[in-house]
Amino acid sequence: MRREARVLDLTLAVLHHILVFGLVAMLAIERTLLKAPEIETRRLAGLDGGYGLTAVLVLAVGVARAIWGGKGWAFYEANPFFWAKLAIFTVIGLISIPPTIAFIKWARASKADAGWQPDAAAVASARRWVGIELLLIFPLVACAAAMARWPF
């Protein structure tokens, strides 16, 4: 592999990992904010927007890695752990929809009424969804590690 190709592969790998760590950090912060006695609805909605943007960037950089990275598309196309990782990432994305909708509604409501707070049941539901997203990071990382070492 040419030096330029190795540098590109390294750059994409580093960027991909940093973005994934950012996603995990944002989810952990969301979960923490949902445990507060008073919910900071605008902060939560803004953080969730950043989470969504970062998820798109993770996917874009991951696709770039699969196409232009050192292993090439043929490696990923035939790799069952790559497809499992993508499936888990998709499930996490789908699970993130209910809390995102809630955060947007909460931010709008608190903008209209500065003292407004979501009810405890809605907060518990959002916290549960975010917790499930965080738990799904573990099989996602396991698939990523297996994917990199496949076939074994």
Residue-wise pLDDT tens digits, 15-41: 999 999 999 999 999 999 999 999 999
Average pLDDT for 48-76 = 96
The SS3 of residue 131 is helix
pLDDT > 70: percent of the chain: 100
Angle between helices 80-95 and 41-68 (to 10 degrees): 160
Q: What is the mean pLDDT of the chain?
A: 97
pLDDT at 80: 98
pLDDT at 106: 98
User: Distance between CA atoms of 6 and 85, rounded to whole angstroms?
Assistant: 24
User: Distance between CA atoms of 137 and 109, rounded to whole angstroms?
Assistant: 31
Q: Is the pLDDT of residue 99 over 90?
A: yes
**Whole-structure pTM value:** 0.94
3-state DSSP helix/strand/coil percent for the chain, to nearest 5?
Answer: 85, 0, 15
Using CB atoms within 10 Å of the CB of residue 43, give its burial: 0 to 12 exposed, 13 to 18 middle, 19+ buried.
middle
Q: Is the pLDDT of residue 1 over 90?
A: no
Do residues 111 and 134 touch, judged by C-beta distance below 8 A? no
The answer for 72, left when phi > 0, alpha when psi is -120 to 50, beta otherwise, is: left
Scanning the structure block, which residue is given the tokens 């903008």? 111
Model confidence band, residue 126 (pLDDT cutoffs 50, 70, 90): very high
pLDDT at 19: 98
Do residues 103 and 52 touch, judged by C-beta distance below 8 A? no
Average pLDDT for 92-105 = 98
Q: Which of 94, 87, 96, 95 is nearest to 142 (CA)?
A: 87
